[in-house]
Amino acid sequence: MNQTRKVVLRFPHESADQPLVCELALRFGLVFNILRASISPHREGLMVLELVGDTEKQEKGLAFLRDKGLDIEPLSQDIRKIERRCYHCGACVGVCPTGALYLDQKNYQVYFDENRCIACEFCVQSCPTHAMEALI
């Protein structure tokens, strides 16, 4: 059976610099697109992958990554920022693991770079004005 799905990979500190994801292609013959990736200097690495092709191969590949200590979750939602509801506090900035939400150090406005978002929803939970929304 063939299937296309998106998953979020979280790398613990120790394995953030190992070339694990390419093994998916080499060992398991999986086809994938890297949608988003980030390794912040003080945090775990994060990657959003779109996997294409045989379901069984996908399961084997993901099991391999889990064995290597990666945390894997399905990416089910998209996140958006509703500008008129935002008063630029920054409550979301400190909880955002990828830097997708950041505070401009000059004008102190908070911006959202959706290319770096991994849909963890921490911002949705921490925004006092419901400016961050998860779209299903």
Partner 1 sequence: MEVKSLEETLRTYDEINRRIENGEAVVITAEEVIELVAEKGVSRAAREIDVVTTGTFGIMCSSGAFFNIGHSKPRMKILEATLNGVPAYGGLAAVDLFIGATQPAKDDPLNKVHPGEFKYGGGHVIQDLVAGKSVLLEANGYGTECYPRKKLETWIALQELNQAYLFNPRNAYQNYNVAVNLSDKPIYTYMGMLLPNLGNAGFSSAGQLSPLLNDPFYQTIGVGTRIFLGGGAGFVAWQGTQHDPGIERSERGLPLGGAGTIAVIGDLKGMHSDWLWGISMRGYGCSLALGLGIPIPVVNENVMFYCAVQDGDILAPVVDYSKAYPNGTGEILGYVSYRDLRSGTITLEGKEVPTSSLSSYSKAREVALLLKKWIQQGRFSLNRPVESLPGSESGITFRNLTERPVKFSTEEVGG
Q: Does 30 bind ligand SF4 (CB under 6 A)?
A: no
Residue nearer to partner 1 on the CB measure, 47 or 131: 131
Q: How far apart are CA 134 and CA 3, in angstroms?
A: 24
Q: For the chain, first and last CA: distance in Å?
A: 25
List 31, 37, 52, 91, residue binding ligand SF4 (CB under 6 A): 91
List 31, 89, 102, 133, residue binding ligand SF4 (CB under 6 A): 89
Q: How far apart are CA 8 and CA 116, in angstroms?
A: 12
Residue nearer to partner 1 on the CB measure, 84 or 135: 84
List 1, 19, 22, 105, residue binding partner 1 (CB under 8 A): 105
Q: How far apart are CA 46 and CA 117, in angstroms?
A: 10
How far CA 18 is from CA of 6, 11, 39, 70, 118, in Å, comes to: 21, 10, 12, 11, 20
- Kindly list the residues in this chain that would bind ligand SF4 in the complex (CB under 6 A): 79, 81, 86-92, 95-98, 100-101, 110, 117-123, 127, 129, 131-132
Residues that bind partner 1 (CB under 8 A): 42, 87-95, 103, 105, 107-109, 122, 125-126, 128-130
